[in-house]
């Protein structure tokens, strides 16, 4: 099972890169891959971190849309 955890970490790193490069099309596929590997997001899991990253990204988008 250690290989699976390694794969999850690699996918999470790729997801972070996809967000940084604003490649949300790629990010969506990477999240799907994590969902296949981990059925439930738990605190500290790669899937949990991915969901937190998505939530943080959505908050940033909402703040940037507010009129100044």
Look at the chain and report how many structural domains it folds into: 1
Predicted local distance difference test score (pLDDT) of residue 61: 61
Q: Which domain holds residue 7?
A: 2-65
Predicted local distance difference test score (pLDDT) of residue 57: 76
- From first CA to last CA, the distance across the chain in angstroms is 50
For the stretch 23-46, pLDDT in tens is: 999 999 999 999 999 988 888 899
Long-range contacts of 36-43 (CB under 8 A, 24+ apart): 37/4, 37/7, 37/8, 37/11, 38/8
Contact 11, 30 (CB under 8 A): yes
For the stretch 6-17, pLDDT in tens is: 999 999 999 999
């Amino acid at each position: 099972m250690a290989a699976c955890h390694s794969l999850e970490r690699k996918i999470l790193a790729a997801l972070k890169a996809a967000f940084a490069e604003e490649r949300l099309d790629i990010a969506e596929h990477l999240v799907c891959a994590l969902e296949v590997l981990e059925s439930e997001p738990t605190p500290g899991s790669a899937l949990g971190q991915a969901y937190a990253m998505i939530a943080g990204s959505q908050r940033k988008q909402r703040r940037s849309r507010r009129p100044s």
